Amino acid sequence: MEEDERTWLTTREAAARLGISQTSVLQAIRGGKLAAKTLGPRLKIIEIAAIEQYEREHLGRKGWAKRRRSKAST
């Protein structure tokens, strides 16, 4: 199987794709914002579809605009 055919990424690969740190990816997993499968004590994989969904829903909303949007929805 070629690398382009994979439907999942490691946390390190996901972090590089999202432009955030691996620690941030792990925090998103722990917080339930990013779905991942655990394959071992130190190995988690993330479906590419889940990464794309996380990117749409949680990234790109920083600073004042994010706070203003969250206040408007409450």
Residues 9, 46 contacting (CB under 8 angstroms)? yes
Amino acid identity, residue 67? R
Look at domain 3-72 and name its CATH class: mainly alpha
Residues 51, 34 contacting (CB under 8 angstroms)? yes
- The pLDDT score that the predictor gives to residue 52 is 94
Is the pLDDT at 63 greater than 80? The verdict is: no
Residues 35, 46: Cα–Cα separation, whole Å = 7
* DSSP symbols for 5-65: G-SEEEHHHHHHHHTS-HHHHHHHHHTTSS--EEEETTEEEEEHHHHHHHHHHHSS--HHH
pTM of full prediction above 0.85: no
| Residues 10-27 pLDDT 10s | 999 999 999 999 999 999
Is the pLDDT at 65 greater than 60? The verdict is: no
Which sequence spans correspond to the domains of the chain?
Answer: 3-72
